[in-house]
A = this chain, B = another copy of it.
Amino acid sequence: MLSKRKSKYFKSLQLKKFRQSERLFLVEGEKGVLEVMASDFNIHTLLCTDVFFERYAKSIEKVPLHECILVKQVDLSAVGSYQTNDSALAIVHMPKEDITPFSSGLVLALEDISDPGNLGTILRVADWYGVSQVYCSHNTTDLYAPKVIQASMGSFTRVRVNYIDLGSWLKQTELPVYGAVLDGESVYGENLPKNAVLLMGSESHGISEQLLPYVQHKISIPRVGGAESLNVSVATAVLIDHFASARA
């Protein structure tokens, strides 16, 4: 049974200020909960229906958690952001922020991405291409917001995301910095290196004047038709794909 007090407490984690003070966030739905159970994230509390519990009893047993509470669908909808959730919801500890030293490959840097769906989709893209490090400006939307977690389709468990002062970091990095702009060199002609930073700007303004000076290689996806721009998650995927195919 889920007490009203607990239900209210867990629901409060839909808001950033409570997520930040409690260092906890919500993962909703069967697929997401199974992904987080299989990851090295630590689960605080698991809320699930009888059906979910019976189906995954063996996996649940293996996961160290503070508490597992059997609930009804209405409780899951009351706590979470999904209109319907007939399986499970996990309350998960945020990992400690520690900026892992750069190893090799492509590092993705995101400046002020504001749409949660875009950030989640970008993490899914990064995960697909094996980009394991993403650095976000402090004004980028919160990784742990329910919509980001949902759109990332479990990729948040595999991609390391850090919120940093992008300017300071770009200033000191020894990696070549590539930035997506509308009037840069065609990415089709670029000889892309194995190790690099790819910087993507915000949906509405692109890379800011403050960060442009750190971009050594301004690149663009050539436009043939009439659209003014590409969605930022789409553009990120196309550009990462060029880095990936150059290495393949």
Q: In the complex, which of the residues B126, B132, B186 contacts A248, with contact meaning CB atoms closer than 8 Å?
A: B186
Tell me the number of copies of this protein. 2
B238 touches A155 (CB 8 A): no
* Closest chain B CB from A90 CB (angstroms): 19
Please give, as numbers and ranges, the residues of chain B lying within 8 Å of A248 by CB-CB distance.
186, 188, 222
- Whether A153 touches B233, Cβ cut-off 8 Å, given contacts A188-B245, A188-B248, A248-B222, is no
Of the candidate stretches A3-11, A69-77, A93-101, A223-231, the one touching chain B is A223-231
Please give, as numbers and ranges, the residues of chain B lying within 8 Å of A233 by CB-CB distance.
231, 234
* Closest chain B CB from A148 CB (angstroms): 14
B186 touches A230 (CB 8 A): no
A130 touches B244 (CB 8 A): no
A124 touches B231 (CB 8 A): yes
The yes or no answer to A158 lying at the interface (CB within 8 A) is: yes
- Whether A222 touches B234, Cβ cut-off 8 Å, given contacts A127-B227, A153-B228, is no
Please give, as numbers and ranges, the residues of chain B lying within 8 Å of A125 by CB-CB distance.
227, 230-231, 234
**Closest B residue by C-beta to A105:** B224
Please give, as numbers and ranges, the residues of chain B lying within 8 Å of A188 by CB-CB distance.
245, 248
B244 touches A237 (CB 8 A): no
Please give, as numbers and ranges, the residues of chain B lying within 8 Å of A41 by CB-CB distance.
none
The yes or no answer to A141 lying at the interface (CB within 8 A) is: no
Please report the C-alpha to C-alpha distance between residue A237 and residue B238 in the assembled complex, in whole angstroms: 7
Query: Could you show 25 A-B contacts with beta carbons less than 8 Å apart?
Result: A117-B117, A124-B231, A125-B227, A125-B230, A125-B234, A127-B225, A127-B227, A128-B221, A128-B223, A129-B223, A129-B224, A129-B225, A130-B225, A132-B225, A153-B227, A153-B228, A153-B229, A154-B227, A154-B228, A155-B227, A186-B248, A231-B233, A233-B234, A234-B234, A241-B241
